[in-house]
Amino acid sequence: MPVLTATNIGKSFGARDLFAGITASVPHRARIGLVGPNGVGKTTLLRILLGMDDASTGSVHTARGTRIGYLPQEAILEGVQTLWQECQKPFETLIERQHELERLEKKMSDPEQAAEAMETYGRLQQEFDHAGGYTFEMRIRQTLTGLGFSREDQQRPLDQLSGGQRTRALLARLLLSEPDLLLLDEPCAGMNSEEKQDMIFWIKDIQDTLGVTILLIEHDMKMVMDISERILVVNFGKIITEGNPEAVQKNPEVLKAYLGEEEDGIRGVA
Ligand SMILES: Nc1ncnc2c1ncn2[C@@H]1O[C@H](COP(=O)(O)OP(=O)(O)OP(=O)(O)O)[C@@H](O)[C@H]1O
Ligand SMILES: [Mg+2]
């Protein structure tokens, strides 16, 4: 059962037909790349899939209960800022309490201290269990840690983070809503090759560990090839081909129409 199915989607702006008859489905747990030259309508298509724009024709169907996370082309600094403030709220009290409980556990094995320690332990454990207010912060911490943020980086001010880290913070924010499908529109725009490499790792990792389905728009073909199990190529208002990276890379129509007829094919395109 696909996470999302688009049937016969068309979009016109006034008299201009941007695309027509786009039919595609996104299987559960897949990593799909969407590529095509500038201005063919990739972002518009993504917005239609999200329900942010209306299609002129056709329909989009998502599996029941599917939660979609969207990383737009321009990172929303406001979103990162909020997440960052949340994760920097001190929760040392909780950590201190944890340590105290551990110390008491040791004391409980000493017959002379056991009774008193057990009494204090019971009280602290109860308080600990009721510290529900900390749960969300814990989740933020866990998510950021899962995305490779060290404790030190989690406490750094936002302006001391690299572009790659900020994009990862945005991803963390999206993951907190536990999406089934992530739509990423050029998440690596403006990154250097090291940051891109890092991002490729994290996008794959998110899919592997959380089972999130990924639909990625990206101009960097090497990156798309690396991340995607399946690639859709859009040009001239339609999907000109789709397949695995190897097949797409060799497709003559892709080479001719989109990538230019370079000797070494797709790799020759910047
Ligand atoms: N609201 C709108 N009204 C009129 N034209 C629009 C509107 N939104 C987008 N377009 C046009 O549709 C075309 C496709 O835009 P879109 O941003 O979807 O392309 P894209 O494939 O994502 O391009 P890029 O690779 O540069 O991000 C562009 O020519 C754009 O000017
Ligand atoms: Mg775009």
The per-residue pLDDT for range 98-108, each reduced to its tens digit, is: 788 788 888 88
Indicate whether residue 43 lines ligand 1 (CB < 6 A): yes
Fold of 1-67+180-198+213-241+255-270: Rossmann fold (3.40.50)
Indicate whether residue 18 lines ligand 1 (CB < 6 A): yes
Helix axes 193-210, 163-175, angle to 10 degrees: 20
Q: Ion ligand 2 — residues with CB under 5 Å?
A: 43
User: What pLDDT, in 10s, does the model give residues 218-246?
Assistant: 988 889 999 999 999 999 899 999 999 99
**Domains in the chain: boundaries:** 1-67+180-198+213-241+255-270, 78-178
* Ligand 1 pocket mutation pick from 35, 38, 44, 258 by most atoms within 8 angstroms of CB: 44
Per DSSP, 39 falls in state T
pTM of the model: 0.81
Encode burial over 18-36: b for 16+ CB neighbours within 10 A, e otherwise. Answer: ebeebebebeebbbbbbbb
The helix/strand/coil state of 25 is: strand
Indicate whether residue 16 lines ligand 1 (CB < 6 A): no
